[in-house]
Structure 1
Amino acid sequence: MKLLEHQGKQLLDQAGVRVPRGTVVTTVDGARRAAAAIGARVALKSQVPSGKRGKSGGIRFADTPEEAGAAAEALLGTQLGGVTVDTLLVEECADIGTELYVSVLNDPATKGPLVLFSASGGMDIEEVGARDPGLIRRQAVDIRAGLTEQLAAALVGDSDVAEALTDTLLRMYRLYRDLDAELVEINPLVVTTAGEVIALDAKVSLDPGALGRHAELVSGLAVSPDAAGTELERRGRELGLQYMELDGAVGVLANGAGLTMTTLDAVNHYDGKPANFLEIGGDAYTKATPALRLVLDNPRVRSLVVNFCGAFARTDVMTEGVLAAIEELKPQLPIFFSIHGTGEEKAVRLVRERLGIEPCETMDEAVRAAVAAGREGVR
């Protein structure tokens, strides 16, 4: 469950990590008043649960209250990452000397916390890692011992602000642990020209299953699990579907959480990027039409892989539901099927007869074809 930037900064501030002066507003007049109270150059930042807001035009700067009002008027009511911008953070700008990246996250590889530190802050960490993995320092943490001062100090290295950076990492780790968080990230964490360490951004993701342990947090931040996520993810919850929006081009429909995750892993393995997680196992096949519409309403989707494997679940029944959805919605993109298990022969025959296409022999074949089509396709 992703918190908004201002919510994450509130938690960082409470944990003792310095954040800029800022005010949350929902109106143009509110933005003017906030900028006047700060009395310096400000950033107006759209509060939506999506990244790359700067590249998408979701952040503007102002030197006067009048400019802040004009910026707020331009931002409020716009769409960013499929979400309407109705809240802004008006925040004092920092005199940036150096931008760093720091995060604490769940690591599937080590099955524990992982702390990342990079001197290449302010950039997409995925791009930094792809260009030069050596630019990112990593420290796996034994959950029983926690992040020690020695480990944190080794991670940040020697500098004039090493002590302050070490302290920031330790506070971030404690926040991650105390919140049962999945991610606590600051990008950028800046060192100002005066040598101050300040969090200019904040991403905090909580484990929805642990919210029952943090009633005071949910109440204090006005956090609602139903309000979190993108517009498509909220629609998925309303439909009772397990849907997560991702940033790739390959749409995925599969039965069962395990098979869905396997399909996503296969897409990544063949150098593609999945556009979503969407499980339609159990009785979800009866919701095939709204499920397919959910996948197709993601504008990044360029191809679709349908992966069914049935033991107790019948693949012919699930395939019938998806075929009815395809016939109703008539998607204009390539679709690749992989069908195995109970009812397989009938399911394969249905795809041939009703769509005029041949299901792939294996999941790998279907995924490779969908990845290739996702690179080339245009909607």
Structure 2
Amino acid sequence: MHRFPEHHVAWTEAVSRCAAYFDVPESWLPGVLFLDFIERTAVLVRWPEPERPDFSLYHLCKQIAGDLGHSRRAAELREEKKQLERETERLERETRWLERDAHGYGDDDTKGLEIFQAGLKDRLDKHMGPELRAQYEGLDRHLEMVSAADPELVSNWRARLAALLSSGTVDESIRHLLAMAWHVRATHRQHDWRRLSTKVVKVLDATNEALGVSFQWSFKSEDPLASAIRLLADRKEKAHAKRDTKVQQLREVRDRLRHTRNRLDAVRVELDRVTSQIEAEDSIAAATQKAARRLMGATETETHQGSGGLEGYRLLDIRPLPEAEPSQQAPSKATGSANTISGGTFHGPTVQAGDISGGVHFHHPTLGASLHRIWQKLGRRSTGDEEQ
């Protein structure tokens, strides 16, 4: 950590170099310099003498920021704009999800009943692909293997199965398979059939797959086919109910999205209007002048042509109306013609900070002497030692 004298010297040197770089005369200090890079205008606000309790760098900058659009209203609009943009993105995602669900939710369940009922009327060979044919051929081999359990019955089953494969309908084939499964399940000699009912169910599932539907066959009722149709009808009803719910949710989300977009457009328009008005009426230079007048009351402004680091800039010197006699006023930087410095230039190399108390170091004897008196006065004032 730097000791106070070292910090004081470093701060003094930094301020001195800044003042020298911007060609700011000693008589204009203490003050604060604002630069408007867009308008290429520099505004120097001189510190009021004597100091005023309601005037500070914080209050000055706060006033300037308000005029530049960082006011409460502009900040509220910017925050609302961010929130609306986030809400719009969220609602857009939710809309896409609901559109997908509403248009495609449960298609298999809503169409399954019609597909199955239509397929029952078709000839079996219309849907006979390699996988389904392999299942029927496997069933025939299984029947041949268990023929000893009931030779006559098995022979009839195999003959009927062959006829269905050549010219039967899907409905006839399914009913024949269900009858086989029911008979095997009802017998007490399950081991003689070697899981024939399981093989039949595999053929039924393969038939469903060939038709384009999917469900589990149930043998709890006496008519499994009717149970399957009721199951598909129940699925269809539930799928329609779910889709109706999704459609209603989609309608509500679209309404919220529309209202959110409308509000976002309105906020953007208002924010653009406020910003445009600020840019047109309140540049940094203009905002600084307004802020200085509000805090200091009556002010006096002189316009100069910048030099040194302010070459090419218009320099506005703002100071409170002097309380002293005109002969005691600080000399203007302008010479020759009014409000210019084309005829004269200030080259003072050292400027001190007004808020530093204690001893002050100067690098220029003449300039230092006058600044020393200023800082000594400020130091006494800050410590309460100034003579009344």
Which protein shows a greater Rg? 2
Name the structure where strand makes up a greater proportion of residues: 1
TM-score range, shorter chain: under 0.3
Name the structure where helix makes up a greater proportion of residues: 2
Q: Which has the higher contact order (CA 8 A, sep 6+)?
A: 2
When the two structures are superposed, what TM-score results if normalisation uses the length of structure 1? 0.17
